[in-house]
Structure 1
Amino acid sequence: MGFDTKNEDLQTKLDEQQKVIDDYTNILKRLQADFENYIKRVEKEREEFANYSNHKLVAKLLNIVDDFEKALDVTKENKEIANGIEMIYKQLNKILQEEDVVAMNAIGEKLDPFKHEVIDIVNGDENDVVVEELQKGYILKNKVLRPSKVRISKCGGKE
């Protein structure tokens, strides 16, 4: 009987140790999952920060794009100057496209307060339709970077 009792005691201790091992294994798995989630969250935050940083820089560049467009309109008579300005303008637009900046085309669209900033209202056949784009709006990575400044029509609107 001594041998069986000793065997049972050893089996009990072995079972207790196995339970401790299982507990530590579960804790380790949870820690590993938490760490992997942490890595994903930090990577996402880093990407969002980079996008935000780009957002601020690109928003400032859009004013330069506007100035180039105005300069192109003014210098149409002087082909050499117009060609130089147009070349720089195209390079700037290429950089913006590489950064996923897309110009919006607002004319003919129904007013969307997230995409359009109403500057003026004119009398027209349809309500809340953009009839003129006073300043281009832009989208960066599917978010409105700058809303289009627009003139909209209203039935019975001001003239």
Structure 2
Amino acid sequence: MAAEMKMEPETQKLQEKLAELQKEMEEKTKLAEERLNQLKYLQADFENYRKSLDREKEQIIELANECLIKDLLVVLDDFERALQSMKEGKDKEGLSMLYKNFFKILEQHGLKPIEALGKKFDPYYHEAVLREKSDREEGTILEEFQRGYMLKSKVIRHSKVKVAEKSTEG
């Protein structure tokens, strides 16, 4: 019996120690889960930051391209005027080839001309510089003075146009 009684306090001490270790293990497990969640949040924040930097980088590149292409539109206009003023011949043919190649390169970078002639006036794409009384439907574009362009989906230069106005005669 004495051995049994001696075992009980030892068993009790062992059970207490076991309970203490289990409690400590639960605390450590909880701490590990908290740290894991913190790591997951940090990883998500870092991914968001990286994506934000990538978007910002793309915007900077697009802005740089836009500025360059806007400057090159002047050269494109000069090409068009030169072609219109030249008489047929090899010089005009050569200049026409240069113009087409130049325009093709700009198109590959997202430049698109805005269609204007015969279309309905849209202030998002067109700038009315003149109105003229006409028998055509009001708001129809009669003439294009300067071609407008879009870079991808953004208007970088509005078409300068003459717009039909309803004739009051009748």
TM-score (norm 1): 0.93
Question: What is the deviation of 1:57?
Answer: 0.4
Write the deviation string for residues 39-59 of structure 1: whole angstroms up to 9, x where unpaired: 111111111110110000001
Alignment of 1:122-137 (within 5 A): 122-124=132-134, 125-137=136-148
Aligned to 1:7: 18
Q: Unpaired segments of 5 or more residues in structure 1?
A: none
Max radius of gyration: which structure?
2
For these two proteins, the number of residue pairs brought into alignment is: 156
**Greater alpha carbon shift after TM alignment, 103-112 vs 24-33:** 103-112
**1:105 partnered with 2:115:** yes
Aligned to 1:120: 130
Q: For the residues of structure 2 that align with 1:44 and 1:76, how far apart are their CA atoms?
A: 48
Q: For the residues of structure 1 that align with 2:23 and 2:116, how far apart are their CA atoms?
A: 77
Q: For the residues of structure 2 that align with 1:134 and 1:18, how far apart are their CA atoms?
A: 75
Q: Unpaired segments of 5 or more residues in structure 2?
A: 1-11
Write the deviation string for residues 116-142 of structure 1: whole angstroms up to 9, x where unpaired: 011100112322221111111111111
2:151 to 129, 140, 146: 140
**1:41 partnered with 2:47:** no
Write the deviation string for residues 88-140 of structure 1: whole angstroms up to 9, x where unpaired: 11111111111111111111222111110111001123222211111111111
Question: What is the deviation of 1:80?
Answer: 2.2
Q: For the residues of structure 1 that align with 2:49 and 2:160, how far apart are their CA atoms?
A: 41
Write the deviation string for residues 29-87 of structure 1: whole angstroms up to 9, x where unpaired: 0000010011111111111110110000001111111111110111124x122122112
**1:68 partnered with 2:79:** yes
2:29 to 4, 18, 37: 18
Q: For the residues of structure 1 that align with 2:23 and 2:140, how far apart are their CA atoms?
A: 81
Q: For the residues of structure 1 that align with 2:61 and 2:37, how far apart are their CA atoms?
A: 36
